[in-house]
Structure formats: structure tokens, C-alpha cells
């Protein structure tokens, strides 16, 4: 397998194109971008200006999608202690949370003094959804460059459940702990548009509804929810416009009582299903679903190319993978 000489994108990545030196198109675009620091401060200032108008108006300033992983734990702390916001944390329990992550979540919200909601959807339905994610054709080729089908199914539910809750509680911001490799700084401070959300929901909802029926309705917006476009919150992922240093992140969250899980694969610090999701994606598409994110982190200097390749080439724990398959009913 040939990889980009700078990042870790492999030759079978769908939209890759190497120049004569073996440098990929993503690295070439990155080189051309002028002054990333200036772009970062512009977005940070934009968020700070929005806070002046929106903070303190309702019960909560930000609804944080809190997975218990290292990046979302750090982001939770940033919202509470750096920006001084009143945070409501929302965790989504899909039935495959690492017990270590559950303990981390409880410890951290208690330590930070944050209100917290756990949303645990009907597991029989989740089982059908994840099985369908493995076998069905639910997502576009483009979205599968950046995440496995299982991750996409889960994240899409999280996004719509968070949006629904933020509209109900009139919370002006939804926070995400995306690493700078997962989501670009350009989208780090962005208002949800009712029209766009409606179109996105339709693309996701229709194929799922066809297979799973009305049982999925509680996880999506109703027709009335789209009426008040002004109420739609901003999505914020602050790690894109702040300095991202994994060592400092681990240092800070350990102070909050967070401990590294011993049972997840190297690309996740909360989800036991991830190793299985990665395995399925690699079998179906030939490349690792985290290749895009890790390549971004390597390009930005967060980790070395060797560290990135090692992270992607480490196989998931077979015992964990078998346990996940068994709980999903996918073993014979």
C-alpha cells in the first residue's frame, strides 16, 4: 500500500491524487492555505461576539454533545471554565459505551458541576439500525470517506436529538468536541439553518423510516420544529479554533478525574463498537474510516506520520469485536 509522503492517506482513498513526489491533494491544498492562526482567531472572535448577545438569556447557554471521550471532556471544561457558560451536557448511550467512559462521564460532570442528561434509545431499535448500517446502503460515498456507516448512523441521531433538545429548551449553542482533523475551522461557528436541517433530515429519515417505521420519529424533528428558523442554534466546535495539543488535553482531563479506557480501540476513548465499525468499513471500502481525521492531525503537526500510521494499522481487539457482534445478533 502506498501512502502520501506527508500525511497518512492511502492510495485507495476515494478522492486521492498524488503529485510526482507522492504528496497528496489534501496536503497540497493545506500548504496553500494562508495563515491558519489568523483564520482561527477570526472564528474565535466570532464566537465571543455571539456570546455577548446570547449568553444568559435562557436556562442554558450551550448544549454539549458529551460522549465521555477525551476531546468532548476537554471541550466541556473549556465551555464551563474558559468561556464561563452554563452548560447542559447530553450523552447518548447506544448500548456500547465502554464502562470506563460511563465512569468518566459521571466523574467529570460531578467534578465540573454540570447538569447532565443521558439519552438511551430503545436498544432493540438501535440493534436494527446498526445491523442495517452494516448491510444497507444508507450513506453517500462522500460521507463514507470520513466515517464508518455505524459511526454515521450514531452521529446523525446524536445531531438531531441535540438539535431537537436545544430547540425545546431554547439553548442558543450546541457544542461538539470535534478534533481539528475531524472538522475544519471554517465550520466551527455556524448557525443551523432550518431549511438545510430539513433537507438533511429528509435524506436520513426517509430510508430509515422505510425500514424501521414510525419508531424512529422521536429522534428527529417534527414538521412544526422547522417553523421557527430564528430559534435554530449555532453549532460550535471550539477545538478547531483553539490550540490543540493532545498532551495538554490529557493532562487537564486527568485533573478532572478522567481515566483512559482500557477496552476501546486507539481511535476512540468511549465506544466499544468502534473497533467493529472500523473492521466492517475496512472490509467494505479498503481504507480505514479514521484515515481522513488522522491525516489531518498529522498535517497539522498534532502527531507524527509514524504515530498516525501506527494508530491506523493497529487491529481492533477481537474479543471486544466478537462481544459487539454477539450483542447485535450478528454471530451464528
User: Minimal CA–CA distance to 96: which of 259, 327, 315?
Assistant: 327
Contact flags string 24-53 toward Zn ion, x per CB under 5 A: x--x--------------------------
Is 297 a residue that touches Zn ion (CB under 5 A)?
A: no
Q: Output the smallest distance, CB 8 to Zn ion, in A.
A: 8
- Answer yes or no: are the C-beta atoms of 165 and 228 closer than 8 Å: no
SS3 assignment, position 43: helix
Q: Output the smallest distance, CB 61 to Zn ion, in A.
A: 38
Q: Output the smallest distance, CB 39 to Zn ion, in A.
A: 20
CA dihedral 67, 188, 153, 26 (to 10 degrees): -120
User: Minimal CA–CA distance to 193: which of 168, 163, 169?
Assistant: 163
Q: Judged by CB under 5 A, how many residues of this single chain contact Zn ion?
A: 5
Q: Output the smallest distance, CB 27 to Zn ion, in A.
A: 3
Is 16 a residue that touches Zn ion (CB under 5 A)?
A: no
SS3 assignment, position 223: coil
Options 20-28, 83-91, 104-112, 133-141: segment touching Zn ion (CB under 5 A): 20-28
Is 291 a residue that touches Zn ion (CB under 5 A)?
A: no
Is 89 a residue that touches Zn ion (CB under 5 A)?
A: no
Is 116 a residue that touches Zn ion (CB under 5 A)?
A: no
Q: Output the smallest distance, CB 139 to Zn ion, in A.
A: 24
Options 6-14, 38-46, 94-102, 120-128: segment touching Zn ion (CB under 5 A): 6-14
- Answer yes or no: are the C-beta atoms of 61 and 73 closer than 8 Å: no
Is 183 a residue that touches Zn ion (CB under 5 A)?
A: no
Options 7-15, 48-56, 93-101, 272-280: segment touching Zn ion (CB under 5 A): 7-15
Which residues make Cβ contacts (< 8 Å) with residue 201, sequence separation at least 6?
160, 220, 221
User: Minimal CA–CA distance to 238: which of 62, 35, 6, 10?
Assistant: 62
User: Minimal CA–CA distance to 190: which of 178, 202, 205?
Assistant: 178
Binding site for Zn ion (CB under 5 A): 4, 6-7, 24, 27
Amino acid at each position: 500500500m502506498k501512502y502520501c509522503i506527508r500525511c497518512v492517506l492511502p492510495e485507495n482513498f476515494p478522492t486521492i491524487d498524488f503529485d510526482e513526489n507522492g504528496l497528496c491533494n489534501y496536503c497540497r491544498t493545506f500548504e496553500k492555505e494562508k495563515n491558519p492562526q489568523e483564520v482561527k482567531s477570526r472564528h474565535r472572535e466570532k464566537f465571543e461576539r455571539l456570546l455577548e448577545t446570547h449568553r444568559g438569556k435562557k436556562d442554558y447557554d450551550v448544549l454539549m454533545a458529551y460522549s465521555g471521550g477525551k476531546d468532548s471532556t476537554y471541550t466541556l471544561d473549556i465551555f464551563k471554565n474558559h468561556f464561563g457558560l452554563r452548560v447542559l451536557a447530553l450523552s447518548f448511550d447506544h448500548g456500547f459505551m465502554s464502562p470506563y467512559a460511563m465512569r468518566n462521564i459521571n466523574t467529570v460532570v460531578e467534578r465540573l458541576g454540570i447538569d447532565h442528561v443521558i439519552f438511551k434509545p430503545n436498544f432493540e431499535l438501535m440493534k436494527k439500525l446498526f445491523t442495517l448500517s452494516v448491510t444497507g446502503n444508507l450513506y453517500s460515498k462522500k460521507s463514507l470517506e470520513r466515517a464508518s456507516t455505524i459511526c454515521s448512523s450514531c452521529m446523525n441521531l446524536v445531531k438531531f436529538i441535540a438539535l431537537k433538545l436545544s430547540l425545546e429548551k431554547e439553548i442558543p449553542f450546541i457544542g461538539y468536541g470535534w478534533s481539528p482533523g475531524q472538522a475544519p475551522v471554517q465550520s466551527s461557528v455556524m448557525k443551523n439553518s432550518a431549511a438545510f436541517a430539513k433537507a438533511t433530515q429528509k435524506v436520513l429519515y426517509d430510508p430509515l423510516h422505510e425500514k424501521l417505521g414510525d419508531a424512529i420519529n422521536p429522534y428527529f424533528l417534527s414538521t412544526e420544529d422547522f417553523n421557527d428558523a430564528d430559534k435554530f442554534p449555532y453549532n460550535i466546535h471550539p477545538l478547531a479554533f483553539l490550540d490543540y495539543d493532545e498532551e495538554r488535553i490529557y493532562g487537564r482531563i486527568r485533573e478532572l478525574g478522567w481515566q483512559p479506557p482500557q477496552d476501546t480501540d486507539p481511535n476512540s476513548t468511549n465506544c466499544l463498537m468502534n473497533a467493529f465499525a472500523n473492521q466492517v468499513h475496512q472490509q467494505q471500502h479498503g481504507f480505514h474510516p479514521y484515515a481522513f481525521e488522522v491525516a489531518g492531525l498529522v498535517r497539522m503537526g498534532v502527531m507524527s506520520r509514524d504515530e498516525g500510521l501506527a494508530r491506523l494499522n493497529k487491529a481492533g481487539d477481537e474479543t471486544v469485536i466478537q462481544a459487539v457482534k454477539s450483542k447485535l445478533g450478528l454471530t451464528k
